[in-house]
Amino acid sequence: MSNTYKNIFNRYSKGRATVKEQKAVDLFLDSLQDTSELDNAVLTEEKGKLLLEKIEARIVYKTRKPYRAIAASVAAIFLLAGIFYTYFLVTGNEAMKTVAATLGEKQKVILPDASVVYLNSGSSISYPVAFGEKSREVTLTGEAYFEVEHKEKHPFIITSDQFKTQVLGTKFIVSNYKGDTPAVTVVSGKVKVTDKHSSVSEIITRGQRVVYSEENHLLLKSDNVNAENYLAWKEGRIFFDHADMKQVLQTLHRRYNVVLQLNSPLYECSTISGTFSGNDVEKVLSSIRFINEMDYTKTKNDTIKITLKPCKN
C-alpha cells in the first residue's frame, strides 16, 4: 500500500490532498459533532491500515454518489472518525483530544474527571482522554470558564500562552486570546497563577483577578472585582471594562463572526465600558454609538466600517 492513513491527513493539513481525499476528510469534519463514540475509540496501526482500505473504497464510491447522499452515510462517518482519532489525537501512548469553539459559537466540554469547561468563541482546549495519576493537565487557547472537580491530591493545571494556572477545586475564568490582555479571574475557591516566562506566582481567591502587564512584564492583582462581569459571555452578554476600540472590535468579531474595520485613527479617549446583550452585532454597535463618539456603516460585502470621532478638549 503506497499511502498510509496518516499520510492522507498529513497531505490534507498541508493542502496537498487530492480532491477525492479532501472530500472524504471534509465529510468527517462536517460530521464530527455527531461522533460521540470517538471518546471510546482506541485504534492500533494495524486497524488504521484496514480502515484506510475501507475509506479508499468510500472515496471511490463518493465519485458515483451525490455528496449529500454520502454525508448521510453513518458508516463512512465513523470510519473517518476512527482514522482522525488515531492520527490527530494519539501521541505516543497517550491519547489526546481537542475541542474547539468556532467564531460565533460557544462549547461545553466535560473532562474525564467530570470537571466542566465552557469555551468562549474562537477558543480551544486539549486534554488527555484519561488523566494521569499525579495531575490533571490541559492546554487552553483563548478563553474558558472552568468548574473543576475537587481532588486534593490531584491538582488541575491549565497551560495557556502566558500563564500556568493550578487549582485543586474551584470556579474561575482564564482568558488568553492573542492580542488581548491575559487574565485569570476567580469566581469561587483559590488558584495559583504563574507567569510561564518569569516563574513569578500570585495566589488569588474569590473576587480577585490577575492580569499580565505586557508593558511592565508583571502580574497585577486586583481585589473586589465582580467576577460575574467577566463571565457575561457565557450567558450571551458582552462586558467591556475601559476597552479600547481595537479590543472591542476583536471581541465582536469573535462573538458574531463578522468583519469589522476601523476606518479612522484609534483615539485614546475612545474606550468602552459596560455590558451589552443581543444576538445582532448591529444592535450592540447601536448601543455603543448611543453613548460613545463613534459611528458605523455596513458595506455591500457585509463589512462593517467603524468611524471614531476625535477627542473633545
For residue 119, the model assigns a pLDDT of 97
Most confident of the following: 36-50, 140-154, 277-291: 140-154
138/250 same-domain check? no
Number of domains in the chain: 3
84/51 same-domain check? yes
105/73 same-domain check? no
pTM: 0.67
User: What mean pLDDT do residues 144-155 have?
Assistant: 90
Q: Which domain holds residue 173?
A: 96-228
User: What mean pLDDT do residues 133-149 have?
Assistant: 93
Residues 6+ apart with CB under 8 A from 272: 240, 242, 243, 244, 245, 248, 288, 292
Furthest CA-CA distance within the chain: 74
Q: Which three cell numbers stand for residue 219?
A: 502580574
Kindly state whether residue 313 falls inside one of the protein's structural domains.
no
Domain-terminating residue out of 183, 208, 228: 228
Q: How confident is the model at residue 308 (pLDDT cuts 50, 70, 90)?
A: confident
The CATH number for 116's domain is 2.60.120.1440
User: What mean pLDDT do residues 99-123 have?
Assistant: 94
Kindly state whether residue 36 falls inside one of the protein's structural domains.
yes
Most confident of the following: 9-13, 24-28, 139-143, 240-244: 139-143
For residue 262, pLDDT over 80 is answered with: yes
For residue 1, pLDDT over 70 is answered with: no
The CATH number for 246's domain is 3.55.50.30
For residue 212, pLDDT over 90 is answered with: yes
205/179 same-domain check? yes
84/105 same-domain check? no
Mean pLDDT, the chain, rounded, equals: 78
For residue 150, the model assigns a pLDDT of 83
Count Cβ atoms below 10 Å from residue 283 Cβ, excluding itself: 12
For residue 139, the model assigns a pLDDT of 96
